[in-house]
């Protein structure tokens, strides 16, 4: 489980969520 990585990506890509696909969080 990459929970920490997910949280970090969520924060970094918070503004790109609309452009970045959900695959990025995998």
Query: CA 1 to CA 14: how far, in whole Å?
Result: 20
Cβ count within 10 A of residue 25: 13
pTM over 0.85: no
Q: What is the pLDDT of residue 5?
A: 79
Question: For residue 4, what pLDDT band results from cuts at 50, 70 and 90?
Answer: confident
Question: For residue 9, what pLDDT band results from cuts at 50, 70 and 90?
Answer: confident
Query: CA 26 to CA 22: how far, in whole Å?
Result: 7
Residues 6 or more apart whose Cβ sits within 8 Å of residue 10: 17, 25
Please state, rounded to an integer, the average pLDDT across all residues of the chain. Answer: 65
């Amino acid at each position: 489980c990459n929970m920490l990585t997910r949280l970090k990506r969520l924060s970094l890509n918070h503004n790109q969520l609309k452009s970045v696909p959900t695959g990025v969080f995998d």
